[in-house]
Amino acid sequence: MGNLKNSDLVEVAFWLLIAAIFFSVSFNFNQPIEIYKFGATGWPRVILILIGLAALGNLYHSLKNGSKIQKGRVGASEAPDQVNYTSVVDYLKTAWILLIPLLYAISLKPVGFYFGTPFFISLVMLAWGERRVKFILFNTLLIYSLLIILFMFILNAPLPQGNVSPFYDFSAFMLKMKTQFDQLL
C-alpha cells in the first residue's frame, strides 16, 4: 500500500463512515421547502460530500507522500512568530480581531448578509494589518462574489435579509435580480 499507514486508513474510514451515516440519515427528514429547490437536506448533503472528498484527497496525498513532514511552506517561516504584548494597543488589536465576527453575527438580523458581508470581509483584512485599499477592495469583491455565487446560485440557500429598511431593500433587490436571472434560464 505504498506510504500508507494503518492510522491513515483508520482516519479515512472514520470520515467516510461519518459522511455515509449522516448522508443516509438525511433521507429521513428530506422535506420540500418552497424557497429552496434542493429541499431541507440539500445544503447538509453538500457538506457531507465535501467531507468525503476531503477524506479521499487526504488518502491520495498519504498514498503519494506518506506522513513525512513537508520541508518549507510557501509564505511562512519555519520559526514560530513571537507575539509581544508591550502596550494596550496590542491587546486592543487582538480584541478587535475577536470582536469583528461577533459584531458581524449580531448585525446579521438587522443588516442582513447581502449588505453586511462586504464590510465584514474588509474589516477582517484591516484587522489583520492589510492597508492597501485596492487590494482590500478587489479581494472583498472577489470573496463576496464567490459567496453570492455559492449560496444564491449553486446551493440556492436562503440568507439573512435584514429587517431595517435600507438594508432590507438592498436584500430585496439582490433577490429580485436572482429571480430575474433564474427566469432567463
Averaged over successive runs of 10 residues, the pLDDT of the chain (185 residues) comes to 78 95 88 74 88 94 76 62 81 92 94 94 94 96 94 82 89 88 84
Is there a single domain that holds both residue 105 and residue 56? Answer: no
Is there a single domain that holds both residue 183 and residue 121? Answer: yes
The answer to whether position 78 is within a domain reads no
The answer to whether position 158 is within a domain reads yes
For residue 148, the enclosing domain spans 98-185
Is there a single domain that holds both residue 120 and residue 55? Answer: no
C-beta of residue 136 within 8 angstroms of C-beta of residue 126:
yes
Give residue 132's pLDDT: 95
Give residue 35's pLDDT: 66
Domain final residue, candidates 28, 44, 67? 67
Rg (CA), the chain: 22
Give residue 12's pLDDT: 94
Is there a single domain that holds both residue 11 and residue 58? Answer: yes
The answer to whether position 86 is within a domain reads no
The answer to whether position 93 is within a domain reads no
Is there a single domain that holds both residue 117 and residue 172? Answer: yes
Is pTM beyond 0.75? Reply is no
The answer to whether position 53 is within a domain reads yes
The answer to whether position 44 is within a domain reads yes
The string over 118-157, giving b where at least 16 C-beta atoms fall within 10 Å of a residue's C-beta and e elsewhere, is: eebbbbbbeeeeeeeeeebeeebeebbeebbeebbeebbe
Q: Specify the number of domains making up the chain.
A: 2
